[in-house]
Homo-oligomer: A and B are copies of this chain.
């Protein structure tokens, strides 16, 4: 077990830790620990909402969650010798829920998957499922099961939803500029088109006074992935993966969190994967001048781990960029196509007795693969969704007799 350079007491808010983390991206958030190229170290993480969600059977907490506090990140960790233009090489050596603990915070033996209400966050299928829903998952070693999703059991592909380096001041400004421009195209939209900087509930790490105030005013929200990495939600950032992050500021300033026990490609539920607090063990190194050497000018590149569970059979669902309800055609729109693939999967699962909400929660959390299959066959983009059949404890494949529909209960809903 490597040295812990950022520690979290799961019984306390991130704000009340001995060394607090942060929930905005800004170059001036002070480094909390320095490491050297070649070092291995552990970072402990708080669940992304700072544990506003509970291990119970009501989705009221999802409905009422305060999203201004998200994401609660651990860091920044400084890397000696890192300079703008370098690539920071990050190996994920191990990652898991809070070790050796059972408790009330997500990650202490359990996690959750939620769907935000349309009026407070939304999700990929928010027009079809506008309310808040939740499923609680219990961890059994490397497996998870949910009392809200009977008949399902799978091994977690643990990964961080969100890690990244600090932006430079210039990069931060360009983010704020382009996102505001997008928001300005439809400022009253629900859900919003984007999330501008917000002072409310901003946490600036160990910064105080004017610095903290500037961070709160200018700091980019942590929801989207950007040029520093950030909230990729790539489930293949799992144990054994190597990520090459662009370095935009001196010391790189690596921060992150939002650990997931498991997630489906797309994290379509938004709130989200199987969310948890926990730990992540890193090894870091540097490729000096690597951004130019390898042409890595926008997003990180990475090599996925080779320790994912091995599945050999899938039920796969196709979607095309057509809204079949209105017979409306979209032009090569992969987002629409993937949404239709998800809806098609949900219709299929309903035939076996799951509610639509349960199926939605399943697709957000289980190790499904979302593929862009055809992106040039005008006008229809084609996406496909691969659901491993082995995660079900019944035979979910089509046969001549038809599906066996069973009462499979319901997820947590609002009261």
* Stretch of A8-16, A208-216, A312-320 with 4 or more beta carbons under 8 angstroms from chain B: A312-320
* Bound CA span A328–B347, Å: 36
Complex contacts, A376 vs chain B, CB 8 Å: 122-124, 233, 266-270, 272
Q: How far, in whole Å, are A374 and B350 apart by their CA atoms in the complex?
A: 24
The range of chain A's interface size is 35 or more
Interface string of A346-389 (1 = CB under 8 A from B): 01101100000000000000000111111111111111101000
A288 in contact with B400 (CB, 8 Å)? yes
Contacts A390-B313, A398-B290 given; indicate if A296 touches B348 (C-beta within 8 A). Answer: yes
Is A307 located at the chain interface by the 8 A CB criterion? yes
Confirm or deny: A155 has a beta carbon within 8 angstroms of a beta carbon on chain B. Answer: yes
Asked if A109 lies at the interface with its beta carbon under 8 angstroms from chain B, I say: yes
Task: Kindly state whether residue A261 has any CB partner on chain B within 8 Å.
Answer: no
Known: A141-B281, A302-B316. A232 touches B374 (CB 8 A): yes
Assuming the A-B contacts A1-B109, A267-B376, A374-B233, are A316 and B287 also in contact, with contact meaning beta carbons closer than 8 angstroms in the complex?
A: no
Residue from the list B141, B288, B378 in contact with A93, Cβ < 8 A: B141
Stretch of A20-28, A55-63, A127-135, A192-200 lying at the B interface: A192-200
**CB-defined contacts of A178 to chain B, threshold 8 Å:** 322, 327-329
Check B297 against A347 for contact (C-beta < 8 Å).
Answer: yes
Question: 0/1 per residue, A86-103, Cβ < 8 Å to B?
Answer: 010100111100011110
A406 contacts the other chain (Cβ, under 8 Å)? no
How far is A223 from B92 in the complex, measured between Cα atoms in Å? 37
Number of copies: 4
A299-B328 CB under 8 A given contacts A371-B370, A373-B234: no
Whether A266 and B310, one on each chain, are in contact in the complex, defined by CB atoms closer than 8 angstroms, is no
Write out the residue numbers on chain B whose beta carbons fall within 8 Å of the beta carbon of A369: 371
Q: Is A303 an interface position by the 8 A CB rule? A: yes
Partner among B182, B301, B341 whose Cβ is within 8 Å of the Cβ of A315: B301
In chain A between 266 and 314, which residues have their CB closer than 8 angstroms to a CB of chain B? 266-270, 272, 281, 283, 285, 287-290, 293-304, 306-314
Which of chain B's residues have a CB closer than 8 A to the CB of A289? 402
**A17 located at the interface, meaning its Cβ lies under 8 Å from any Cβ of chain B in the complex:** no
Q: Is A226 an interface residue (CB 8 A)?
A: yes
Q: Is the CB of B331 within 8 A of A193?
A: yes
Return the chain B residue nearest A307 by Cβ. Answer: B309
Query: A310: which B residues are within 8 A, CB to CB?
Result: 306-308, 310, 312
A301-B348 contact in complex given A232-B373, A265-B373, A398-B294, C-beta closer than 8 Å: yes
Cβ contact of A372, chosen from B322, B324, B371, cutoff 8 A = B371
